[in-house]
Structure 1
Amino acid sequence: MKHQLPHIEFKSGEDSNFGFEIVPIEKIITNKHKFDHDPEQPHQLKFYNLIFFTEGTGRHFVDFEWYTVNKNSLLYLTKEQVNAFEFKSTLKGYCLVFSERFFVNSFAHLPNDFVFRLFNPQLFSPLIQIPEDSEFKTYFKLLQQEYNRKQIFNHKAIVESLFIILLSKAEQLKQHQTKHIKESSQLRLFQRFTRKLDDQFTFQRSAEYYAQELAVSYKHLNYVCKALINKTAKQVINDFIILQAKRNLINSNLKSSELAYKLGFEAPTNFTKYFKKYTGLTPNSFKKSIKK
């Protein structure tokens, strides 16, 4: 592993690109030695990535868990997630990579709760399986065709529209493969909760505090978290902090004692006890396990 976790920005290889690109996995495998990072080692995304596996079997590393992927597996990767490929000669597919600007522009006219659900690892597994006879595959081929026709009239709008349709078809499949969240008021509260947590976790880890900030009772916040993801509000907070700690720990330039203060712990020993309580490992043991 390199001394610093690579943070991969969106860089297009296409002159006419507008924040969206379709990249074959075979192309990544062929050119992996030309990158300034190893795609088979953990790296942190600064863009969004939707990977559609069309042939073979393998694994993909997402936020410290390995997911088995097969033909017709669809993998959602959101900005800031840590991921890594495991390349095999039989594994084929495509990465649909897009910038945050493309994401915002494409979904500007869609319901906010729909957009929030799309790339939210707290609400869903990042992996779904596309049925062989699904319309998703039809629209994916159409998106490929239109994306490759660079000089057509209104090219950007056509690609954006087909991409929205593609994700909408995937959302339809999620309703049958995962617990579908329909209660929008609960979803909005959970969204506000996670946003506040992202802003304030370094100085506040109390579920009661966030309930007060959201102007709801602690009991109601717990109820919503349990209803949506079967976790208490405190578990949501702990999971979020542990994930931030793991993402920082695999940057080998950062000592666990430095990370303790960065995450808002009063002393390194407090952080070590907290981390071990929820992972079973000390911070240093976790770093060594990832390097292996």
Structure 2
Amino acid sequence: MPPASAPAKTISHYALYGEREAEDDPEFIHIEDIRTRSRLYDWTITPHAHPRMYQFVYLVAGSAEVWLDQELHLAEAPCAVGIPGGVVHAFTFQPETVGWVLTVSELLLIDARYRRSRKLFDPLTREPIVLAFDDNPDEAAVIETMLEQMQGEFSWPQLGRGFMCDWLIRIVLMTARRQLDRQAPQPEKVGQRRELYGRFRQLVEEHYRNHWPISAYAEALNLSQARLNRLCKSFADKGAGDLVQDRLALEAQRHLIYTSVTVEMIAYELGFQDPGYFSRFFKRRTGMAPGRFRAAKMAEPFPH
């Protein structure tokens, strides 16, 4: 296990450990058994981070030494480890540890569709946590069952898979939040920079359709544009403008997949005055024109 003083310059950034290709997918959801990847690396996952991804690691049996932003923890099953995007972390698992690794795009967790529940998840997603379930076998069983169901959805794609996974994720997180409250933690010590970043993401969720300039976001946070960009780079490895455009592109993808509304109507719905400019924006962000993107998604066997 790396010491708490391990130099930051050695840290890699991945969507999943050892992989890079899914890092910019705003709809990204992935689940796998702990053993699948850990066995390949002799049960030791070296320091790395996942920009823009939230990770929930759940141990059903076994244990792990966990390094979270230069702090060492012991996780013993049943136990959950919550890792916000950008947090440097590493694991040394006891061989043959059983459990799951759930990885989710942070954009899905701050989606405006779930505005009412978003604050409930904040204590889980703003800072890393290690959450024991040894005193609550009933809730531990709920999380285990939900993650088993989610892995089944991934193994055998069926109609509505995306919606099902979205709902299962929120059941898992709500169960973890209840356990966190039961353990009566000390008042949260959220760093000012991480709190500012969270406020920026909430502002994006509320105003991306209005096409606020970055100067407006900076003013709302009482920051300079340069400082806001540095803040976003430190947590998401992207500038503020890219994160706003990511959110617009995500909503456009959803409209193209889940509705039959024309491309022109989607453009107006998302605040674009010129459908042609919207099409160019979409192709620049996704690599495909809107119509082609919709056709490709509809050709997939029950992809969502």
The CA distance in 1 between the partners of 2:32 and 2:140, in whole Å, is: 18
The CA distance in 1 between the partners of 2:79 and 2:112, in whole Å, is: 23
2:142 is the counterpart of 1:138: yes
Are residues 23 and 13 of structure 1, via their aligned partners in 2, closer, same or farther at CA, if it must alter by over 3 Å?
Answer: farther
Question: Residue 166 of structure 2 is aligned with which of 160, 163, 170?
Answer: 160
Q: Which residue of 1 aligns with 2:49?
A: 44
Q: Which residue of 1 aligns with 2:129?
A: 126
Q: Aligned letter for 1:157?
A: F
Q: What do the CA deviations read for 1:62-119 (whole angstroms, capped 9, x no partner)?
A: 1111110101111110101011111321422211111223323497333443232221
Unaligned ranges ≥5, structure 1: 200-212, 216-240, 245-292
Give the number of equivalent residue pairs.
190
The CA distance in 2 between the partners of 1:133 and 1:160, in whole Å, is: 24
Unaligned ranges ≥5, structure 2: 1-5, 201-219, 223-230, 235-304
Per the alignment, in what secondary structure is the counterpart of residue 179 of structure 1? coil
Q: Which residue of 2 aligns with 1:177?
A: 183
The CA distance in 1 between the partners of 2:117 and 2:198, in whole Å, is: 23
Per the alignment, in what secondary structure is the counterpart of residue 109 of structure 1? helix
Q: How does 1:218-233 map to 2 (within 5 A)?
A: none
Q: Which residue of 1 aligns with 2:207?
A: none
Q: Which residue of 1 aligns with 2:31?
A: 22
Shift of residue 178 of structure 1? 2.9
Per the alignment, in what secondary structure is the counterpart of residue 50 of structure 1? strand
The CA distance in 1 between the partners of 2:194 and 2:69, in whole Å, is: 21
Q: Which residue of 2 aligns with 1:60?
A: 66
The CA distance in 1 between the partners of 2:91 and 2:101, in whole Å, is: 11
The CA distance in 2 between the partners of 1:59 and 1:193, in whole Å, is: 25
Are residues 148 and 197 of structure 1, via their aligned partners in 2, closer, same or farther at CA, if it must alter by over 3 Å?
Answer: closer
Q: How does 1:49-88 map to 2 (within 5 A)?
A: 49-88=55-94
| CA contact 2:110–2:118 (8 Å) conserved in 1 | no
Identical positions, percent: 15
Q: What do the CA deviations read for 1:160-197 (whole angstroms, capped 9, x no partner)?
A: 1121111111111111113387xxxx99x998993079
Are residues 120 and 107 of structure 1, via their aligned partners in 2, closer, same or farther at CA, if it must alter by over 3 Å?
Answer: farther
Per the alignment, in what secondary structure is the counterpart of residue 167 of structure 2? helix
The CA distance in 1 between the partners of 2:112 and 2:57, in whole Å, is: 18
The CA distance in 2 between the partners of 1:145 and 1:85, in whole Å, is: 25
Shift of residue 9 of structure 1? 2.3
Are residues 43 and 103 of structure 1, via their aligned partners in 2, closer, same or farther at CA, if it must alter by over 3 Å?
Answer: same
| CA contact 1:135–1:169 (8 Å) conserved in 2 | yes
Are residues 143 and 13 of structure 1, via their aligned partners in 2, closer, same or farther at CA, if it must alter by over 3 Å?
Answer: farther
| CA contact 2:63–2:93 (8 Å) conserved in 1 | no
The CA distance in 2 between the partners of 1:116 and 1:180, in whole Å, is: 15
The CA distance in 2 between the partners of 1:107 and 1:118, in whole Å, is: 19
| CA contact 1:78–1:120 (8 Å) conserved in 2 | yes
Per the alignment, in what secondary structure is the counterpart of residue 140 of structure 1? helix
Q: What do the CA deviations read for 1:127-181 (whole angstroms, capped 9, x no partner)?
A: 1111452234234323422442333221111111121111111111111113387
Q: Aligned letter for 1:140?
A: E
Q: How does 1:185-224 map to 2 (within 5 A)?
A: 194-195=195-196
Q: Aligned letter for 1:155?
A: R
Are residues 13 and 43 of structure 1, via their aligned partners in 2, closer, same or farther at CA, if it must alter by over 3 Å?
Answer: closer
2:102 is the counterpart of 1:101: no
Q: Aligned letter for 1:138?
A: V
2:15 is the counterpart of 1:9: yes
The CA distance in 2 between the partners of 1:31 and 1:134, in whole Å, is: 32
| CA contact 2:146–2:172 (8 Å) conserved in 1 | no
Are residues 116 and 135 of structure 1, via their aligned partners in 2, closer, same or farther at CA, if it must alter by over 3 Å?
Answer: closer
Q: Which residue of 2 aligns with 1:253?
A: none
Task: Let me know the Cα RMSD of the aligned residues.
Answer: 4.1
| CA contact 1:12–1:19 (8 Å) conserved in 2 | no
Are residues 119 and 140 of structure 1, via their aligned partners in 2, closer, same or farther at CA, if it must alter by over 3 Å?
Answer: same
Are residues 192 and 172 of structure 1, via their aligned partners in 2, closer, same or farther at CA, if it must alter by over 3 Å?
Answer: same
